[in-house]
Amino acid sequence: MTGLIPGNMLEELFVQTLNGIYYGSILFMIASGMTVILGILGILNLAHGELYAIGAYTTTSVLGYVVGISPPLSTPFGTAAFVFLVISGCFVASLLLLPIGAIIERVLMKPIYDRHELYQLLATFGLLFVLTDAIRFIWGERPVSVSGVYSPLSFSAIPVGEFQYPFYNVLVIVTAFALFGLLLYFFSYTKYGRIIRATAINREMATAIGINQNRVFTAIFALGAFLAGFGGAIFVPPTAANLDMGTTPLILSFVIIVIGGLGSIRGAFAAAMIVGLLSRWATWLYPQFEIAAPFAIMIAILLFKPEGLFGTWSELS
Amino acid sequence: MTTNITTLVSSLDRRHFLGTGALFILLPVLPDILPGVTLGSITRGVLFGITALGLALLIRHTMLVSFGNMAYFGLGAYAAAFGATYLQVRSAILLFVLAIAAGTLAAIVVGYIISSHQDIYFALLTLGFAGLVHALAIGSELTNYSDGLSVRTELARPTFFGAELPVEVYELGIYYLAAVCLVVLLFFAWQIITSPFGRALQAIGQNRQRATFIGINVRRYVWAVFVISGLYAGVAGGLFALLELHIRPGNTLSVFRSGELLVMVIVGGFRTLLGPIAGGFLITYLLDTVRFYTDYYYTVTGIVLLTVVYLLPDGIVGTLIRRSQTADGKTSRRWLSDGPAVVVDSAKQALGWVKFW
Amino acid sequence: MNNVNRRQVIAATGGTALATALAGCSSLLQSDDAGEGSGEVADVPDEPVEGFFQLFLEGSFADTGLMMRYGAEEAVERINENGGVGGRQLNVEFVHEGGSQQSNYQNFVEQGADVTFGPISSGGAASMAPVVEEEGVINVVANGVTPTLFEETLPDPEYMFRFSPNLIQEVVGLARDTVNELGADNINTIAGINPNYAYGQNAQRAFVTVMQTLTGAEVVHEGFPDLGASDLSSHISSVNNEEPDILFTSQFGADLSLLLDQGQGQGLFDNIGLLAASAGATLTNQGSEGAVDSGEILATSRNWYFDNPPLGQWSPGQEFFDSIQSKHDVVPTQDAMSGYGTVALWATAADKAVQVLGRWPSQEEIASFMEGHGFFIPQGHVVCNKNHQCKHNTVTGKLAWQDEHDVVGLDEVSIYSDAQATAPPGQNTFDWLDSW
């Protein structure tokens, strides 16, 4: 029944690696929002998981509409259009997080910047509670899903040797890499991005050269919220949105950004890929270790290379 | 402001503790007066008060936050469950001791590893260990995965000194055991704070580098206070095991619970002694009982927390103490002379503030 | 229908108007008389009976919980419209069980509960079992399907009852169905993907034990992803690699949907003989046509399936179906029947007790009436055994899209009897399975 053993093993290794990259892509998109806010504002946003959930819930509403209006999938044009509509749908749904993030920053965070970090943490924790109930109030208690998005997309599968690989997974991977590229480009090579990093590293000097720190902070928090929401948006089509969904991504985000380096986008990406790959290889080879693995790695990093893989930068060092 | 409170605390004396003790003797009357409040929920308030107090000891001077103190609570509870399930231990006291030992031991080990780290790294390490313990408990057959373990042996409750007690007596017994532990640990906490050890911790919190320069072995002190917070958590975990008689990972080890613990400490006021206890009661009440009256109990809890963050940074009890202090000189001296009455009064005020009645 | 004598109907279904209503046979009654119900008996308090039902009203089990609630509310409504329990109206409050089933129960007792129902969580049921026995207020478990409840945790229950069959029953029924479908000689390898907690682990173990006895098959992969996992691709890949004859899963709801969708995308159905999904019917209202038509899927609907007997051939079932659908716009599943039956078990027994005793009975009296008690619900006739577990058949079939109702359902339905799928009285389930 099985062919050449080595060949099969190799194929399975390849697919499990792809799975690892897929999971890593999801993890990166989830963690990127947290690391941006932490790196530039120095705030650990505990409401991150709920912002992610809001992105997911909003997406179910938006994509429900999208599925209704999209052209049939039978033609290549149809498929391409559908893919475009799905990604834009996720994007548009996440845009809701921009004003939400901005309001949170202005109303909740600004008044307490000069207080001890503990209070900023607790403010986001209080926000977590309130947002959970807000989601329940708007979308109800039952899990909400988008039918008609994942199934059609998974039909067009890509053959990998004897295996088939769902198209949606590939889409997610491509999106994550694109996002990584964009963020990196923005923060390292554009003027505005450089200015923002300067603000983070030295606030007094930044103000001295005329940068409006308030605006920058609001914009960054909004961006972080958007990224969190986008992670949720991309995540939800295969599964469903439910009220508990924010807890695990919140905790995993912590783990990822610690391993990668607090505030580092490169670090978040690398760490997400590593955790993704190791988790999937563990599932394949040694399932018992699956949930515990990320924490074990996190502890190891904190003990032996506490600044993370790519180092911690700005206010935190 | 810190100095004021520590001066305040050091002027408390034995009468205050007797006063607090008197209060706790009366609490079991509550279930008969208030609907929806059971002796079990009051006991839970007490033991989370204990856990919060332990965490507060860690935070108050060193300003080091632990996101994972529930791990020691949970380990303590599970130790008791192991004792009953695998070792057939029937004695409640022995199970209790097992719990304390487990929580403390775990805190010794983890504390040793993390005590030289600072700020956010310290916090994240505590989180990491908590997450690890939680994951192991859920995934392991030894702990019976998410279904948990019973603390009973063949359906029978643990015995007190060999005697099998009727249910009501047992529950009352656990409550009083918890209350006694609370008063004792409160006293112990007071002793710590007013001792040279406490002053060293204060120095560490104010300026870590300077503390090192004047010869304080920062690492040792942090380790020690961390172990103490773990001990308190272990005590509470053991009490929890004896109360609930069935331990599952969800309500003992989850990282979110550690977050709730932190909320208890801050809402009550981490620079005071009664604050974390009051916080423990309040948050337990909100999460345990309020959910029967409204679906939106999370919102209530969130608003309480946000109110404290923005308006009452010293916590509820902390703000009350500060107010009673600065109002006029006379008021502050009342603390010295009217001991028990004032403690009871303040506690009532603190509790009444949030419409406990 | 016109020839049906009112007295005959009532007598046949249990002796009171309440029992008749719960049987779903009220339409056979000709007049609206409250009937010679027990309501006319003196010495029953005027206040309504206070009941509490704990179940999952939010989170990943919300769909199960809500469905169960619909069924329970239906039963309560029928009870109250037909004179109530022994003449007393029944109030049932529904509470989200969360993680604190035990303290919920204690809270209910504190609030003066006359009876409690639920929970859904097996771990929760186990944790509250000793407390139920101590407090002495009857609790009927609605779901909590672990086999160990009355075998290890509480071998000699007095106040704790369970309506739903234990989970092993549907697994064994499904295993038999699988063997019938493929033939014992054609089954050589099995794989399993189950949620990582006691429910999933027990299900896998039972399935493997039965299959090994019936076919001698070998297990080639066992995966236990977390409940609510977002990505099963890794497990699917491993299974693809092994090409088993049967893939067994006890996953339900969104997780099962995910397995089907991701499986389809990864060509799972080309690499396995068939998929045996013990909780397949949980997809009834949520599944999509494309997902279930992708390959051969055998599934169970536990103790009741809406189209068995086919709608139109059994009026109690039809009425139940119509009522739930018109009120909530969903097709009822076995969870709705569980909610209904849980309440009906207690209500019919208590009602009968009032009739016999002429007054409101004590908890112990009701409990003794419940043992060995037979009652009718839209599912059919159900008996509560002496060990406090109700006796059921298991319904299996092929998971397929039902055009007529626009839901996922079962084609080619088979029934496995109680004797084929559960251990004999007094024997532990796993001992029984090991002894084949």
Least confidently predicted of A2-6, C55-59, C79-83: A2-6
**C15, C68: one domain:** yes
CA distances from residue C126 to A178, B25, B141, B238, C131 in whole angstroms, order as listed:
49, 33, 16, 20, 10
CB spacing of B36 vs C134 below 8 angstroms: no
In which domain, by residue range, is A18 found? 5-139+149-316
Nearest to C60 among A8, A244, A291 (CB): A244
pLDDT at C422 over 50: yes
CB spacing of C58 vs A280 below 8 angstroms: no
Nearest to A242 among C59, C290, C291 (CB): C59
pLDDT value at position A152?
59
The CB density around residue C145, as the number of other CB atoms within 10 Å, is 24
The tens digit of pLDDT for each residue in B117-171 reads 877 788 888 988 999 999 888 878 888 888 889 998 888 888 888 888 888 889 9
Least confidently predicted of A174-188, B98-112, C22-36: C22-36
pLDDT at B12 over 70: no
**C379, C407: one domain:** no
CB contacts < 8 A (B, C): 66
User: Which chains does C contact via 3+ CB–CB distances below 8 A?
Assistant: A, B
Query: In this structure, what CATH number is given to the domain that contains residue C198?
Result: 3.40.50.2300
CB spacing of B132 vs A112 below 8 angstroms: no
Token pair, residue B19, equals 């006063």
Query: How close does chain A come to B27, measured CA to CA in Å?
Result: 30
The CB density around residue C81, as the number of other CB atoms within 10 Å, is 14
Nearest-Cα residue of chain A relative to residue B133: A292
pLDDT value at position B57?
93
CB spacing of B288 vs C98 below 8 angstroms: no
In a domain, C379, yes or no: yes
Yes or no: say if A223 and A216 are a contact pair by the CB < 8 Å rule: no
Count of domains for chain C? 2
The tens digit of pLDDT for each residue in A14-62 reads 888 888 899 899 899 989 999 999 888 888 899 999 999 999 999 988 8
Nearest-Cα residue of chain A relative to residue C261: A151
β-pair type (C115-117, C49-55): parallel
Helices (H) and strands (E) in chain A, counts: 13, 4
Query: How close does chain C come to A283, measured CA to CA in Å?
Result: 7
Least confidently predicted of B53-62, B332-341, C369-378: B332-341
Token pair, residue A159, equals 């053959």
Q: What is the largest CA-CA distance in chain B?
A: 62
Q: What is the dihedral of CA C71, C76, C79, C80, to 10 degrees?
A: -140
Q: Contacts of residue C286 in chain A, CB cutoff 8 Å?
A: 145, 147
pLDDT value at position B352?
52
Q: What is the DSSP string of C316-349?
A: HHHHHHHHHHHHHSS---HHHHHHHHHHHHHHHH
CB spacing of C110 vs B148 below 8 angstroms: no
Q: What is the DSSP string of A250-283?
A: HHHHHHHHHHH-TT-HHHHHHHHHHHHHHHHHHH
What sign results for the dihedral spanned by CA atoms C47, C53, C57, C62? negative
User: Region A128-151: what's the mean pLDDT?
Assistant: 84
C144: enclosing H helix or E strand = none
Nearest to A306 among B121, B255, B301 (CB): B121
Q: Contacts of residue C99 in chain B, CB cutoff 8 Å?
A: 248, 250-251
Rounded to an integer, what distance in angstroms lies between the CA atom of residue B47 and that of residue B53?
10
Which is more confident, A210 or B100?
A: B100
**C16, C153: one domain:** yes
**C271, C139: one domain:** no
Return all residues near C284 (Cβ < 8 A) that are at least 6 apart.
C331, C333, C407, C408, C409
Nearest to A19 among C237, C257, C288 (CB): C237
User: Region C72-82: what's the mean pLDDT?
Assistant: 93
CA distances from residue A224 to A25, A180, A184, C211, C282 in whole angstroms, order as listed:
17, 14, 14, 52, 37
The CB density around residue A41, as the number of other CB atoms within 10 Å, is 24
pLDDT value at position C28?
57
* Best CATH choice for the domain B2-353 from the list 1.10.3470, 3.30.420, 3.30.2320, 3.40.50: 1.10.3470
**C122, C177: one domain:** no
CB spacing of B296 vs A247 below 8 angstroms: no
User: Which chains does B contact via 3+ CB–CB distances below 8 A?
Assistant: A, C
pLDDT value at position B345?
58
The tens digit of pLDDT for each residue in C100-151 reads 899 899 989 988 999 999 899 988 998 999 999 999 999 999 888 888 888 8
The tens digit of pLDDT for each residue in A195-252 reads 888 777 776 677 777 777 788 889 999 999 999 999 999 888 877 888 888 888 898 8
The tens digit of pLDDT for each residue in B246-269 reads 999 888 988 888 989 999 999 998
Nearest-Cα residue of chain C relative to residue A282: C234
CB spacing of C291 vs A19 below 8 angstroms: no
Nearest CA-CA partner of A96 in A183, A217, A222: A222
Confidence of residue B2 (pLDDT cuts 50, 70, 90): very low
Strands (E), C56-212: 90-96, 115-117, 139-141, 160-162, 189-193
Q: What is the DSSP letter of C49?
A: E
CB spacing of B139 vs C196 below 8 angstroms: yes
Query: How close does chain C come to A222, measured CA to CA in Å?
Result: 26
Rounded to an integer, what distance in angstroms lies between the CA atom of residue C391 and that of residue C393?
7
Instruction: Find which of A118, A120, A128 to mutate to test the B interface (most B CBs within 10 Å of its CB).
Output: A118
Query: How close does chain C come to A220, measured CA to CA in Å?
Result: 29
Q: Contacts of residue A303 in chain B, CB cutoff 8 Å?
A: 113, 125
Instruction: Find which of A27, A151, A155, A251 to mutate to test the C interface (most C CBs within 10 Å of its CB).
Output: A151
pLDDT value at position B111?
93
**C115, C23: one domain:** yes
In a domain, A279, yes or no: yes
pLDDT value at position C197?
80
First-to-last C-alpha distance (Å) of chain C: 48
Nearest CA-CA partner of C318 in C385, C238, C378: C378
Q: Residues of A numbered 138-157 whose beta carbons fall under 8 angstroms of chain C's beta carbons: which are they?
A: 141-143, 145, 147-148, 150-155, 157
Yes or no: say if B33 and B198 are a contact pair by the CB < 8 Å rule: no
Q: Contacts of residue A152 in chain C, CB cutoff 8 Å?
A: 290
Q: Contacts of residue B152 in chain C, CB cutoff 8 Å?
A: 130
- C85 forms beta bridges with C88
Nearest CA-CA partner of C72 in C157, C4, C128, C140: C140
pLDDT at B300 over 50: yes
Q: What percent of chain A has pLDDT over 70?
A: 85
Tell me whether C99 touches chain B (CB under 8 Å): yes
The CB density around residue B135, as the number of other CB atoms within 10 Å, is 22
Q: What percent of chain B has pLDDT over 70?
A: 85
Yes or no: say if A124 and A43 are a contact pair by the CB < 8 Å rule: yes
The tens digit of pLDDT for each residue in C201-222 reads 889 999 999 999 888 889 998 8
The distance of Cα A157 from the centroid of its chain, to the nearest Å, equals 24
Rounded to an integer, what distance in angstroms lies between the CA atom of residue C103 and that of residue A16?
44
pLDDT value at position C372?
93
In which domain, by residue range, is C76 found? 6-165+309-391
Amino acid identity for residue B328 in this structure: D
The structure tokens 């493929």 sit at C182
Tell me whether C198 touches chain B (CB under 8 Å): yes
CB spacing of C107 vs B248 below 8 angstroms: no
Q: Residues of A numbered 117-136 whose beta carbons fall under 8 angstroms of chain C's beta carbons: which are they?
A: 136
Name the phi and psi angles at B244, rounded to 5: -80, -30
The tens digit of pLDDT for each residue in C335-358 reads 999 999 999 999 999 999 998 998
The CB density around residue B161, as the number of other CB atoms within 10 Å, is 8
Interface pTM (ipTM) of the complex? 0.84
Rounded to an integer, what distance in angstroms lies between the CA atom of residue B70 and that of residue B79?
14
β-pair type (C394-402, C380-384): unpaired
Q: Contacts of residue A133 in chain B, CB cutoff 8 Å?
A: 295-296, 298-299, 302
CA distances from residue A7 to A15, A128, C219, C303 in whole angstroms, order as listed:
12, 49, 22, 46
Nearest CA-CA partner of C187 in C298, C294, C293, C301: C298
pLDDT at A156 over 60: no
CB contacts < 8 A (A, C): 118
Count of domains for chain A? 1
Nearest to C107 among B38, B138, B246 (CB): B38
In a domain, A97, yes or no: yes
Nearest CA-CA partner of A182 in A91, A277, A85, A314: A91
C56: enclosing H helix or E strand = none
Q: What is the DSSP letter of B180?
A: H
Which is more confident, B355 or C129?
A: C129
B178, exposed or middle or buried, with CB in 10 Å at 0-12, 13-18, 19+?
buried
The tens digit of pLDDT for each residue in A76-98 reads 676 777 778 888 889 999 999 99
Nearest-Cα residue of chain A relative to residue C96: A141
Query: In this structure, what CATH number is given to the domain that contains residue A27?
Result: 1.10.3470
Helices (H) and strands (E) in chain B, counts: 18, 2
Name the phi and psi angles at C93, rounded to 5: -100, 135
Query: How close does chain A come to C237, measured CA to CA in Å?
Result: 7
CB spacing of A164 vs C233 below 8 angstroms: no
Q: Contacts of residue B150 in chain C, CB cutoff 8 Å?
A: 126-127, 130, 153
The structure tokens 């086919």 sit at C310
Return all residues near C110 (Cβ < 8 A) that are at least 6 apart.
B31, B36, B38
**C136, C108: one domain:** yes
In a domain, C1, yes or no: no
C424: enclosing H helix or E strand = none
Nearest to A164 among C238, C241, C266 (CB): C266
Q: Contacts of residue C226 in chain A, CB cutoff 8 Å?
A: 290-291
**C32, C11: one domain:** yes
User: How much is the CA Rg of chain C, to the nearest whole Å?
Assistant: 22
Nearest-Cα residue of chain C relative to residue B44: C103
Least confidently predicted of A271-280, B74-83, B99-108, C14-23: C14-23
Tell me whether A25 touches chain C (CB under 8 Å): no
Nearest to B148 among C107, C123, C154 (CB): C123
CB spacing of B147 vs C146 below 8 angstroms: yes
CA distances from residue A127 to A66, B249, B288 in whole angstroms, order as listed:
31, 25, 20
What sign results for the dihedral spanned by CA atoms B156, B159, B164, B170? negative
Q: Contacts of residue B121 in chain A, CB cutoff 8 Å?
A: 302, 306
Query: How close does chain A come to C230, measured CA to CA in Å?
Result: 7
CB spacing of C100 vs B248 below 8 angstroms: no
In a domain, A144, yes or no: no
CA distances from residue C46 to C89, C90, C353 in whole angstroms, order as listed:
9, 11, 17
